[in-house]
Amino acid sequence: MQKISYTHAEGWKNLVGAEAAKAVAEVVAPIMSSPFTPREPMDGAETILERALAGLGIEHAGIVMASASDPGPFMAGLSPEAKRFIELRPNDTLARAIAWRFGTQLDEILDAKLGSLLMDATGNDRANGLRGRLWLELVRVPSKDGRNQDGELGRMAMQVRWSAASYLAGFRAFGVTAAVPMLRSLVELIRLGNIPVGRLASGAFLMVVA
């Protein structure tokens, strides 16, 4: 198993306990070095996402796919004002179009659904410590190195990956079974590059692919 810096930090182990730190490592290690760029649509990805959202009680009005390599269809029908907003950052076309059409990003949805459950299971200090440490490892560090080749879209992917992984790791570490299979599905979709990003203002749930 790949060594992960936070599992070897004594302060982290003292906060969550050695067994919990080991469980977190088992969840996070497989995704630490995996790309967070969109990849080709997988067979059955929409069904996997549908089932995960249903299991988490996340309402939506269908699944929409947006292609990072061909964002035109996703941008169809945008207002002239939206197009001007997007043109300000031509290298971030799809990310800017998503931001314009967004309702709620996945990490915020998971917070609303699962935040109190994690806090109840672990206590505020442990939950905050766990999620803060994983933010450092899964968002802050990679966003500042050569892996982030996708600008705003890459940061969106990192943020939703951190959220799904931190809840899954927390629940695994502290023996909470609720939501684990659904979170595992979300983490796997993200790892494989079919990235559930959040709910659009239309109510549809967005998945980004290559």
pLDDT, tens only, 36-88: 789 999 999 999 999 999 999 999 999 999 999 999 999 999 999 999 999 99
Given this model, what pLDDT does residue 1 score? 35
d(CA 168, CA 174): 10
Place of tokens 């933010």: 135
Given this model, what pLDDT does residue 144 score? 77
Given this model, what pLDDT does residue 126 score? 86
Beta bridge partners of 66: 208
Contact 188, 47 (CB under 8 A): no
- Indicate if the alpha-carbon torsion angle 16, 123, 51, 76 is positive or negative: negative
Counting Cα atoms < 13 Å in the Cβ hemisphere of 89 gives 16
The H or E element that residue 31 is part of is: helix 18-32
Given this model, what pLDDT does residue 103 score? 96
Instruction: Say what the pTM is.
Output: 0.90
Given this model, what pLDDT does residue 140 score? 87
Given this model, what pLDDT does residue 81 score? 95
Q: Give the chain's domain count.
A: 1
Residue 38 is part of which domain span? 5-209
Between CA 164 and CA 169, with CA 168 as vertex, the angle to 5 degrees is 115
Given this model, what pLDDT does residue 9 score? 64
Q: Is 57 exposed, middle or buried (0-12, 13-18, 19+ CB in 10 A)?
A: exposed
Given this model, what pLDDT does residue 31 score? 87
Low-confidence ranges of the chain (pLDDT < 50): 1-4, 6-7
The H or E element that residue 64 is part of is: strand 63-67
d(CA 41, CA 44): 9
